[in-house]
Structure 1
Amino acid sequence: MCNLKYLEKVLEEKQNSKPWIMVYGIYNSGKSTLINALLGEEKATIGDVPTTDRIDEYKFNGFRLYDTPGIEAPIQHEKITKEFLRKNDVVVFVLSSDSSFEEVKVYEEMKKILEMDKKLILVLNNKTKAQNIGEILEKIENNLMRFGIDVEKIRVVSVNAKSALKAKKEQKSTLLKRSNILLLEKLLLDVVNKSDIKNTIEFLIKDTINKEISFLTEKIDNVTLKEKREILNEIEHQEYLLKYELIQYLEKETLQIKNDIESLLFNNQEIDSYLDKKIEEIKGCLIEKINSSIDVTYQSLSLKQEQKSFDIPLDVLKNRELVEPILKDVLLKLRELKVPFIKGKWEKTLSGWAGKIAWGISVAVSIYEVYSVYKKDAEYKEAQIKRTLEIEKISNEIAFDLFEQFKANIDSSVESLYKNIKNSLLEEIRNLENNNSDIISQIECLKDLEEKLIEKYLKSKL
């Protein structure tokens, strides 16, 4: 991994230096002239064609100042600039007053620079000595906002680079002041600091590690692995939808059962046969919904099967020899579901009403007999209130108990139904992952390395 060795070399170099400043922009906007103006002498090559094909380094007040091939330079030159941009801390972006401030690509590049967390100083080189410089700066600000660029993150200054160079060479103080180069120099000295290096180091570490991880990830059989995970997610989603549908249905039926039991008890009617019938009805509906879900899942996966390079174990869903035992188990569990009715759970509650009850007769008759006594009593109204509360309580308890039993049964039954196909896919996924274990191990090492590099170069020394 030569990129990692190169990264550490760059990090060591950056850690022991002042921030690096890169001069960038469309060629012929005055980049080289601006560098010469800052240096006070003609060191950078000036030309009307994009001849710069390398990175030139200069010293400016202890900073490293770099001249680079510009935007819209030949593609091989532009690639050099793109790579070098990653290592720089501050970008001085040069626009020309004659035309370049309207170029769309200019603002696209500035947006990318800010996304890399670089400090950006925008220099409008007033090559034409335009009188309407304020209007141009306003247009630039509008263009920045139009491209979604936060203008608060950019420092803007207008400079006449040619006049500045002449003023320094000929030592003309008035011309130097009018050129505005002194304002740019002050701006560079004021805003460029150690935090810019920290931002660059963090970006370089994360960007380089991410590229290495992406390179390794491409070596993994990602397509098949991704597809199998998608299929597994699809099955788990169908399982969730089935559970959700069954619980929604059950909640609705439970509320109806509660209301029906209350009505039956209020009217002194027995509830045993009603509950038997209702439970059988719910059982049948649950089985129907489970079968329907199997069909939906099978059809959905069958469509995906045609697009995949591997077999989905659909036989687990449609092979009757495999499915029927599961469904029979579901039916068996549902048929075993019995409400203890009056004896057992609610016996104590009802005993409190009458003292003793002949449990061979229906609960409704017992309730009627108990409360008929109160009709002759002055406390009839109080008894009726008590009866209402007790009926609501018993109805709630029966309905809630039914719901909990059905829910537990639904959870275990649905999980049994999808268990085999999920296990089959999980096994295939594990095999694929094992085949790529070396690469996955390298990726994990890279993640650890990222943390160590951040600790070493950001937290410990900067």
Structure 2
Amino acid sequence: MKINSTQLLGAYEQARAYAAIDSELATPFAPVEHVFEEKKCKPDACIMVYGVYNAGKSTLINVLLGREEAAMDDIPLTDQVTAYAWDKYSILDTPGVDAPIAHEDVTNAQMLKADAIIFVVDPLGTVEESKTLEVLVDLLAAHKQVFMVFNDKKGLSDEDYIKLKDQTREQLQRIATQRGMGNILKEVPIVKINAKRALQGQLKGKPELVELSGHLAFKNQLTDFLDGISPDDVYDRLKHQLVEFLNTQVQVLGSQKGDADITKKFDKFLRQMVRDKSRLSSDMVNEIERERQAIYDKTKRALRTSPEDCQQKIEGILQQASEQMQRHLSNRLQEVVAIAQADIEELQATMPQVGPYTHANEIPATENAPDLEQPMPRAQKSSGISAEMAAQASKQMASMVRPEHIVSTLKTVKEILPSLMKGIGPKTMEKWAGTVMTKYVPYIGTVVTVGMAVFDMFSGDPEEKAMREHMEKQRLTRERAEQQMDDFAQELADGFKQFMRENILQEIDGFFAQLNAQVDKLREGFSDTERLASERLQKWVTIQQQALSA
């Protein structure tokens, strides 16, 4: 089972922050903190940034760090390999492919320890520089995971980028074939970024520069690449330990005796709401992933079988996926609303029958409440109410649960629930699909042009096609063309997934934020002690659900 390590570490950080302000939790949380902090100090993968000395390796490292820490120079000045902590990884900066021999020896020694290589090149010189690509194939032969980065200093057009990728892959095929290696193209993701522009945007606080640099696509693909080599069994152990602590904490808080049974029922209702949100979010993420896979498969098929009208077909594919997302979200929200209304009805059934009150702030009398309507003894009347009596009365009134407030608020929440469920309408989904499509339309023509080279080769002389050399050329060309189509289908599907995930989860967050705002008004009827305990329990339940869904 794949663990979302970023989400798990986020849940841990929240738990650590809450535990730090509660002295009673210091001892039980200590073992959890120890294993997580140890893991953070020992990243699960060692990543080496490698390439020619002026390709922009250090600049790329600074982009990952989000600050100017790695020294950036045009010549290799040192034989040292510098390590930088990034996220849950250790990033190593190296002298480079064509550094002095002494420097390269240090780099090669460190390379044995690296789990993965970020191979940085200048795209405009890569195809002609055979030594660079031979080193990359050497790394693959040594069973290293390689992620190739075109540091686009000049600003390649999309068309030139696609053509350069194809030419680079052709060279890689040639080298691999000479060494008796099979198809290596799927083992080498290729992505471009203007590292200098991305760093400038980060340092100057200009998100438009960061976006233009290609940073988002680079970061997403690199994260997916690195996650593919992360040891999930380690994170599974960490998750189990954190969840065990959270389960105990929620159980203890949920079982504590309060001043009123009403608050216990309310907290149970609130915990169910948190679980409903977590399940809904996870369900939608899974649905988005299913649609992403469908878009990927259908887009590849359209590029292969219908190059003449594939744009229209791909538009239809995205539209169909968006409509499916809209229907699924709408149905799931309706289910959540129905469950919430049923829970409220169950909660209402346990509430005491409360009659009308004369004043909005009137509090029903109880046996323990001071009777402020009774006449004071004459001696006390003359001197007024003592400070001690006033404080006692105020304390008792603040400690009372006001059932009339809870009953009226429950009724309001139940009535407005359907109006909160606005969801995402078909027109909005259609607009979103158009937004995703517009981003990738310019690529289609070039992808089809490259892909059609395969089909053109089959229209030659039958005798020529039978020749071994020509058949080999066909095979290699087909590999590149299919990889190019795979690239486009992958990027389109990933773009849909990223866009839909951000917007749909934001919609879910908004729905539950409105619902929480209404339900939270119920706490106005609680005593100060009950209210604080309820809020505390809700925080821990939220963290618990985040950890469980990681």
Common fold by TM > 0.5: no
Say which structure, 1 or 2, has more relative contact order (CA 8 Å, 6+ apart). 2
Give the TM-score normalised by the residue count of structure 1: 0.38
Per the normalisation by structure 2, the TM-score is: 0.32
